Amino acid sequence: MTATAVRDPGTVRARRPRKSRQVRSLTGTDRLIVAFMVVIPTLVVVGLVWGPAIGTIVLSFTDWNGIGNISDINFVGMENYRNVTTNYPPFPPAIQHNIIWLVVFFVGPTLLGMLLAVMLDRELRGSRIYQSIFFLPVVLSLALVGFIWQLIYSRDQGLLNEVLGTQTDWFGDPDINLWAVLVAAGWRHTGYIMLLYLAGLKAVDPALREAAAVDGAGEVRTFLQVVWPVMRPVNIIIVVITVIESLRAFDIAWVINKGRNGLELLSTLVTQNVIGEASRVGFGSALATIMIAISTVFIVIYLIQVMREQKR
């Protein structure tokens, strides 16, 4: 006689058949949509970014003046670069002005934007109104900012001269117009940095600040030793953005005096040679390639930082 094992129904777990996960294959319509989502952005990036960049680098080794057929282009090697660095008087002042622009942006608007972000992050009364006021210049183009500040800096009817009781030509004097333009450009850049840093501060885990407060750390020590290290990715982004903004500064200087008379910048020199009266496309392309090379260094640093964060 075979014994039949009797089990308590309460102890027996019903075994449910496992459902196999079926992966639905892509239909023809799905593949077409995916192809459009990949191909169209790729074509846009190649056509509007990589194509012009590579074309600029190639033309920098030619003497093309922008007139005539492509067959008329003559390759001259490094001659344009030698002329830029040795026989082009506006080039050293342009490099100097771009460096000054970068240093002033770091010391002034960037630090001020960070300070405003830290203050607004404390949820002060009316902080939303302050955010809107400080961010308002960011939605304006630098060209429009230049027109606005021309009304402030006007020698005869400008607001600043009326307040100070002077008749200074702030945008016309080559000794001071660069600093006047930096104030106008910094007015816009401050709100941009404030917004980026404020978004980064909102993403910081509140538990870190609470732990620091329990340990007896003050606000300054908490920010420097706890919040600042956590904000490292945002800090890298701000550094890269500030460098690129300093290199691509163009609109406001061009609106004021076409980048002349003390406002020489790399970007204005490129424009003067490529589409200006000189019409030296090859020479202007060499200047543009120098800008691309400088920008690439900081872009690579940013990409390396991003990839490190993704690995972590």
What's the pLDDT at 6?
Answer: 46
pLDDT band for 134, please (50, 70, 90 cuts): confident
Residue 257 and residue 29 in contact, taking contact as beta carbons nearer than 8 Å: no
Q: Is the pLDDT of residue 19 over 70?
A: no
**For the segment 245-304, what is each residue's pLDDT rounded down to a tens digit?**
888 788 888 888 887 888 889 888 988 888 876 678 889 899 999 988 888 888 887 788
> Is residue 271 a part of any domain in this protein?
yes
52 occurs within a structural domain: no
Mean pLDDT check: name the lowest of 21-25, 97-101, 166-170.
21-25
* Predicted pLDDT of residue 129: 85
Q: Give a yes or no: residue 116 inside a domain.
A: yes
In a domain, 302, yes or no: yes
Inside any domain, residue 70: no
3: confidence class by pLDDT, cuts 50, 70, 90: very low
Report pLDDT for 18: 55
Q: Evaluate whether residue 235 is within a structural domain.
A: yes
At residue 79, the pLDDT reads 92
Check residues 23 and 288 and name the one with the higher pLDDT: 288
Cβ-in-10-Å burial (0-12, 13-18, 19+) of 188 comes to: buried
Query: Do residues 247 and 269 touch, judged by C-beta distance below 8 A?
Result: no
Domain containing residue 202: 79-311
Among 10-14, 156-160, 213-217, 236-240, the range scoring the smallest mean pLDDT is: 10-14
Task: Output the 3-class SS for the chain.
Answer: CCCCCCCCCCCCCCCCCCCCCCCCCCCHHHHHHHHHHHHHHHHHHHHHHHHHHHHHHHHCCECCCCCCCHHHCCECCCHHHHHHHHCCCCHHHHHHHHHHHHHHHHHHHHHHHHHHHHHHCCCCCCHHHHHHHHHHHHHCCHHHHHHHHHHHHCCCCCHHHHHHCCCCCCCCCCCCHHHHHHHHHHHHHHHHHHHHHHHHHHCCCHHHHHHHHHCCCCHHHHHHHHHHHHCHHHHHHHHHHHHHHHHCCCHHHHHHHCCCCCCCCHHHHHHHHHCCCCCCHHHHHHHHHHHHHHHHHHHHHHHHHHHHHHHC
Asked whether the predicted pLDDT for residue 233 surpasses 70, the reply is yes
Q: What is the pLDDT of residue 5?
A: 47
4 has pLDDT over 50: no
Mean pLDDT of the chain: 82
Instruction: Give me the number of domains the chain comprises.
Output: 1
Q: Mean pLDDT across the stretch 86-102?
A: 91
Q: Report pLDDT for 100.
A: 92
Measured distance CA(259)–CA(9) in Å, rounded: 89
Q: Identify the burial level of 157 via C-beta atoms within 10 angstroms of its C-beta, where 0-12 means exposed, 13-18 middle and 19 or more buried.
A: exposed
What does the pLDDT read at residue 103? 92
Per-residue pLDDT at 104 exceeds 90: yes
In a domain, 277, yes or no: yes
Note whether residue 30 is domain-resident.
no
Per-residue confidence (pLDDT) for residue 12, from 0 to 100: 47
Average pLDDT over residues 137-144: 84
Any idea what the CATH number is for the domain that residue 254 is in?
A: 1.10.3720.10
The model's pLDDT over 169-223, given as tens digits with 9 standing for 90+, comes to 888 888 888 998 999 899 989 988 998 898 888 888 888 888 888 877 777 888 8
What pLDDT band is residue 1 in, cutting at 50, 70 and 90? very low
Output the six-digit token pair for 263: 């406002």
Give pLDDT, residue 29.
82
